[in-house]
Amino acid sequence: MTDIIELLQQGGIPRRSADGLKAVAERLNCEVAVVHAIVDVESNGSGIDAKGRVKVLFEKHRFYKNLPASKRAAAVKAGLGRKVWISPKNGGYKDQPSNEAALAMLIKAVEWCRANGTDEAAALKSASYGTGQVLGENFALCGWASVQAFVADMCQHENKHVDAMIGFLVGSGLADEMRARDFDAVARVYNGSGQVETYGGKMRKAYAAFTGKEATIESTVRAAGLRIGSEGYRVEALQKRLDELGFPVRVDGDFGENTRKAVVAFQAVHGLEVDGVVGALTQLALDVAKTSIPEARATATIADLRDQGSSTIKEADKTQAVSVVTGAVAVAGAANEAGVFDKIKQASDAAAAMAEPLGVLVSLVSENWWLLAGGAGVALYFFAKRIKETRLAGHQAGRIV
């Protein structure tokens, strides 16, 4: 098998063809014009550089996340990782001014993984590839068995780039939307909220240029109903109703993938056509449905959630344990000898200097810094307790899975 670095460096990748686009359309049983419209709008030109190599963009913040925690600091030091994403206008990609530089950084990350006993998949998953700049992390969603196989195919033919783009949409549950020429739904998933009108419009325009006709949605239910890509107060009301009925979803007025999943789940439970679209029948079912929370969920306890492996309860337990230790150490004065609360003491000294008018109270805290530490411990304990109670209430009401 050819080494992945050699594949990334090799040129001569064949460009996408009309036959390749037609083959994708036939597999989906949708119009070729739909595939053309999506690829033309989302491709931003070719996925191959002047030397015939796949175009890539390395994402340092994704590499940081994909690495084991013990390796992250070293990756940052090597200039390959960072905790947060930085936008291009703020210099986030200044070290990747060309595909040559981007490929060099990806290859450096692969070599770094090999030298540091880390799976090279962490590096390969952290770059986007080809015509649609599909992120390596999405290899399985797009239909590949491994990220190595995904990257190898991206280096073989630009038709594979199209397969990845459309595979991403199909994996996101949008096959029906593509068949229905629902370009707003495609734009919502591929471009994100806030970009639906812009990119949906561009795709409709591209479709019209290719076919000479408007990209109409023939299904009246889909055209008039709430669906992925919809926004506004009606979506917010839908989300609140789904939440009430035990289908948890974020209430934000944006009909995205999670809202679609909740609608699909509701439709399946109530014997409706499962299409993820809120038409008249689905809306009627939502209006008359009654909340049905299983007794085991309604009467659950924090201990039950702990036994079920709730990460929220687990972290809150840890926080309370730390708060208890903090309070005990503060009261005992042991932290003074150990130097654990030096920073807290320094903070209280500074507070005394700035708040002299508070007189006796601030002086008391400054001279007896352990009071501040003990207070922090108590506050931390009750904060964690409140988190547990909120998590339990959400579980009992069916709002949290």
Structural domains in the chain, CATH included, are: 4-186 (no CATH), 224-288 (1.10.101.10), 302-397 (no CATH)
Cβ neighbours of residue 152 closer than 8 Å, sequence gap 6 or more: 2, 4, 7
Residue with tokens 């015939």: 52
Tokens of 372: 């501040």
Distances 19 to 31, 355, 373 between C-alpha atoms, Å: 13, 76, 70
pLDDT of residue 169: 92
pLDDT of residue 220: 82
pLDDT of residue 371: 55
- Quick one: CA torsion of 284, 290, 293, 294, rounded to 10 degrees? -100
d(CA 62, CA 81): 8
Strands across the sheet containing 134-135: 56-58, 127-129, 134-135
pLDDT of residue 198: 93
d(CA 133, CA 130): 5
pLDDT of residue 351: 45
d(CA 386, CA 169): 40
Dihedral sign of CA atoms 282, 284, 286, 291 in order: negative
Residue with tokens 């009909």: 255
Tens digit of pLDDT per residue, the chain (401 long)?
579 999 999 999 999 999 999 999 999 999 999 999 999 998 877 899 999 999 999 999 999 999 999 999 999 999 999 999 999 999 999 999 999 999 999 999 999 999 999 999 999 999 999 999 999 999 999 999 999 999 999 999 999 999 999 999 999 888 989 999 999 999 988 988 888 899 999 999 999 999 999 999 888 888 888 999 888 889 999 999 998 888 889 999 999 889 999 999 999 999 999 989 998 899 999 998 887 666 777 788 888 888 888 888 888 888 888 777 666 655 555 445 445 445 444 544 544 444 444 444 445 445 555 555 566 667 778 887 888 888 888 777 665 65
168 sits in which H/E element: helix 158-171
Cβ neighbours of residue 193 closer than 8 Å, sequence gap 6 or more: 231, 254, 256
